[in-house]
Amino acid sequence: MTFNIEYEARKPLDFDYEQLIQSVIAMALEKEQCPYEAEVNVILTNDEQIHEINQEYRSIDRPTDVLSFPLLDYQTPGNFEGIEDHIEDYFNLETGELMLGDIIISVDKVYEQAESYGHSIQRELAFLVAHSMFHLMGYDHMEDEERIIMEKKQSELLSSMGITR
């Protein structure tokens, strides 16, 4: 598996954030029974940069905590059947890995939300990675039914890793 992690934020994270991110991604793929080696890109940035990206891609004029840019179109969330029919679109032809997409996280929001919710910075970062991974695997939370499923999956993933509030 390939996890490309770029750190562009000004505020430092004083723990092994790369290991945490990789662990959450790997566990999410395992929980969803992804049958492929996967590639995921993660950018850790600040409020200013994520605000610009949010404005450009979603026409929302404010910073957000996390943005997900999935590269796959799923018939059903978490269902990887038929993916191989689109090898040239979904797979890195050099490595053979499934290219799931990009995750962009505001480190400023990680600190802000950890304090607001009363849990650790590590827990907040893990939550945002888990949340985004489920988006990359086709899940959404626009409807209540979808939101309930996605929240349950996020909670189960973090609990299985011993990451709690």
Please state the residue numbers annotated as binding site: 131, 135, 141
| Max Cα-Cα span within the chain | 45
84 CB neighbour count, 10 Å cutoff: 12
Backbone angles phi, psi at 61, to 5 degrees: -90, 60
Sign of the CA dihedral 135, 137, 143, 145?
negative
As a whole number of angstroms, the distance between CA 86 and CA 130 comes to 25
Binding-site annotation, residues for Zn(2+): 131, 135, 141
